[in-house]
Structure 1
Amino acid sequence: MTGTEEPVLFHTAGRAAHITLNRPRALNALNHEMVRRIDEALRGWKHDPSVETVVITGSGERGLCAGGDIRTIHDDARDGDGTASAAFWRDEYHLNARIARYPKPYVAVMDGIVMGGGVGVSAHGSVRIVTERSRIAMPETGIGFVPDVGGTYLLALTPGELGTHLALTGAQIGASDALLCGLADHYMPSEALDAFSDDLAEMPVRDALARHVQRPPQGELAARREWIDACYAAPTVEDILNRLLDHGDPAAKEAAQILLTKSPTALKVTLAALLRARHLGPIEQVLDQEYRVSCATLSTPDLVEGIRAQVIDKDRNPHWSPATLVEVTDTDVERFFTPLGDRELGLAATDTPEVAW
């Protein structure tokens, strides 16, 4: 199932229905068509008594999904009026909410690279599998964007200030750290995935998990909690940066150097979004906020410049505007949270029954 004719494949095997993201040459990056097809399939399977479990995987050897198709967003923000990107995000965030509330077990196999939009179609699921190959990240500040797809909801729930660290730096984490941060539920070696998938066709998810789940290898973040919690609890990005630079741990100074390469505007908006997400309540409220922020980025220079530097020209040398943190004012940040009127996402106004399975 690794052909490139269809961008997303669907099949059923016994009790389980399978979604396979199928753009391996683009590391299964999500486009609008894929989002619509996945959403349609989930709506159909929700009422299909023959489907007891839904499983999402990625084709190819590199990972589940590297994120959204940001080349298309770049072109729309640079040459268009942003309506195509806004329409994509609207449907994508609705899909994220559907996954979070799905009434049947939704098993996300987070093997290999899982970033950005890939987190959105996996980490909101009810059963999230990581392997020794998992590399999970929300790297948006590096392209002048802000964590979306419910990312600020997930990162706001992490222990201490781990989510702030991951959101601002875009750092990649492995299996154990994903479990620590609440982005995953179970670890199994990648060599067990095929047998696990076969078992899902024949038995309930809990029984299949019992056959294959193992103890994960040791992670890194638990040993770094002291400086992460101390430094990222600061109220502003400038204060966070100063604490990191002043801390004696070399890893803290390394994090500071990483922050200095990110979009100053994106850093400040990301911190504000995370702090607000902690008090917004259910995921629908947070997705509504993320939609306002995402739409606002379309009229800023950093989104186009960040994608240009990282993905289009690949010179890795973005010229941010404003170029420094001190130039980004509170008024500049507040603009990203301005209500959209009749263009609001409106998820919080919909019924959101609790998941039960």
Structure 2
Amino acid sequence: MREDAWQPTPTTADVLTARTGALGRIRLNRPQSINALTTPMVVAVRRALHEHAEAGAGAVLLDGAGERGLCAGGDVRAVRESVLAGTGAGVEFFAEEYATDAAVADAPVPVVAWMDGIVMGGGVGLSVHAAVRCVTGRTRLAMPETIIGFFPDVGALWWLSRAPGQRGTRMALTGGTVGGADAVALGLADRLLGAGQLPEVVDRLAAGGDVSGLGAGREEVTSAWLTDGLDPFFAGDDPVAVVQRLEAADDPVARAAAADIRARSPFAVAVTLAALRRAETMTSLADVLEQDRRLAPRLAAHPDFAEGVRAQLVDKDRTPRWTHARLEDVDPTEVAAVLD
């Protein structure tokens, strides 16, 4: 397809649209920030999805500009600034973002997500709910929010709470990154393809076909995450017990996971585990997104969020000063207060 076929959306040039045969296309176009999402971007994606469906597209393909990945997540630095300034723009971002995640899940035409390269945070929200989720050998997928004092939002807890065993719990608490094969094995993606197969995917969809038969599916991939034996450590609803079991293990992988958890906001870790266990009992993605809508402004207003974003993305000193020194210091009533 000629590159000049792309058109910016009416509200922002950070999202492009195109039509190729039966295929509608949406491209995140902020490559300098690995397509980090802003409020205008998530609104534009939702509107473009609706317009492609109204125009009779047989499918819609979502991808990201540049070589680094689909999307590194939401622009949390901007959210932090809005929270510190008290403007309410951060709350607006979350509401619009989750509405777009729901629109991807409920789209009247199949959404095909091209999850190449970095797919994290808000990028997971735009892609993991798609009808067909294509990853590659370059995919690096994660929900790393606990390192910035937040929780895995964008409806991700629906999928993480339904991953085999306790693998989703491990991802949520440690912020662990998985590759393409792992993502398929964990139920976070459908097909593992080569990074160079995007033109083939476009041609098939433009001709009214699908991607079945391309690459490898869940029964054809192998994953270290499914065989390393860490599941028992992550069982239960007590985050202190989880981390202490990991620390006492003979397995160096378990002890490394404990160190990862200890480096993160104790409050965010405790809230994340409680929210994940609640998500396990929910009956729809809409229920999980509603929980996210309640939790997001509360966690964003907590001091750990501003501090976590500062340490990771603003000053980049990687030495956050969390409200609680250790998980053991988090009062369960504090956790219950933000969940209820």
Match of 2:61 among 36, 51, 55: 55
- Aligned residue in 2 for 1:112: 117
Which residue number in structure 2 is paired with residue 165 of structure 1? 170
Q: How many corresponding residue pairs?
A: 331
Cα deviations across residues 15-61 of structure 1 (Å, max 9, x unaligned)? 10001000000100010001111111122223332x00000000000
1:96 corresponds in structure 2 to: 101
TM-score (norm 1): 0.89
**CA drift at 1:231:** 0.4
1:132 touches 1:217 (CA, 8 Å); kept in 2? Answer: no
1:188 to 181, 187, 193: 193
Could you say which residue in structure 2 is the equivalent of 1:327?
329
Q: Which residue in 1 is equivalent to 2:254?
A: 252
Q: Distance in 1 between matches of 2:329 and 2:41?
A: 39
Counterpart amino acid of residue 48 in structure 1: A
Q: Distance in 1 between matches of 2:7 and 2:53?
A: 27
Q: Which residue of 2 aligns with 1:237?
A: 239
- For 2:248 and 2:7, the matched residues in 1 are separated by 51
Letter in 2 for 1:202: A
Residue 176 (structure 1) shift = 1.2
Provide the residue aligned with 1:64 in structure 2.
Answer: 70
Q: Percent identity among equivalent residues?
A: 40
Q: Which residue of 179, 185, 191 corresponds with 2:184?
A: 179
1:1-357 matches, within 5 Å, as 6-49=13-56, 51-81=57-87, 83-205=88-210, 208-210=211-213, 212-214=214-216, 218-224=222-228, 226-227=229-230, 229-338=231-340
Report if aligned partners of 2:7, 2:18 keep a CA contact under 8 Å in 1. no
Equivalent residue of 1:209, what SS?
Answer: coil
Matched residue type, 1:112: G
CA RMSD of aligned residues (A): 1.7
* Counterpart contact for 1:196–1:209, Cα < 8 Å: no
Secondary structure class of the residue paired with 1:17: strand
Instruction: State the one-letter code of the partner of 2:301.
Output: S
Specify the SS of the correspondent of 1:28: coil
Q: How far is 1:103 from its partner?
A: 2.3
- Displacement of 1:189 after TM fit? 0.6
CA shift for structure 1 position 222? 1.5
Tell me the SS of whatever aligns to 1:333: helix
| Greater mean deviation of Cα atoms: 17-26 or 323-332 | 323-332
Distance 1:315 1:20, change over 3 A: same
Q: Distance in 1 between matches of 2:316 and 2:221?
A: 33
Q: TM-score, normalised by structure 2?
A: 0.94
Confirm or deny: 8 A CA contact 1:28 1:59 kept in the other structure.
Answer: yes
Determine if contact 1:175/1:219 at 8 Å carries over to the other structure: no
Please list the CA deviations of residues 211-257 of structure 1 after superposition, one character each: whole Å capped at 9, or x if unmatched: x3247764320221x22x10000331110011111222110011001
Report how far residue 3 of structure 1 moved: 11
| Contact kept? 1:3, 1:22, Cα under 8 Å | no
| Structure 2 residue runs without a partner (length 5+) | none
In 1, distance between residues paired with 2:329 and 2:42?
37
Aligned to 1:114, the other structure's residue is in SS state: strand
Deviation at 1:306, TM superposition (A): 0.2
> Unaligned 5+ residue runs, structure 1?
339-357
